[in-house]
Amino acid sequence: MTENEHIATTGDDSESTELCAQCGVSIDTSEWHPVVADDGADGELQLYPFCDETCRDEWE
């Protein structure tokens, strides 16, 4: 008997994809996409990826 409950998840490719900070769509990070760097309240730098410039503009 073989237990196959450890089926691969769909979240394993997080190194090559990110989610748009505005609309949540997957971004192929191997291609150019807008990224905004912003300081949080604690001064920690955060990077926000966007699928295109329209989302980046709307995100503000």
Residues in contact with Zn ion by CB under 5 A are 20, 22-23, 51, 55
What's the min distance (Å) between Cβ of 20 and Zn ion?
3
Q: For residue 35, with 0-12 CB atoms within 10 Å meaning exposed, 13-18 middle and 19 or more buried, which class applies?
A: middle
Report whether 38 contacts 60 (CB < 8 A).
no
Shorter beta-carbon distance to Zn ion: residue 37 or 41: 37
Q: Which is nearer to Zn ion, 16 or 25 (CB)?
A: 25
Nearer Cβ to Zn ion, position 14 or 57? 57
State both tokens at 36. Answer: 């905004």
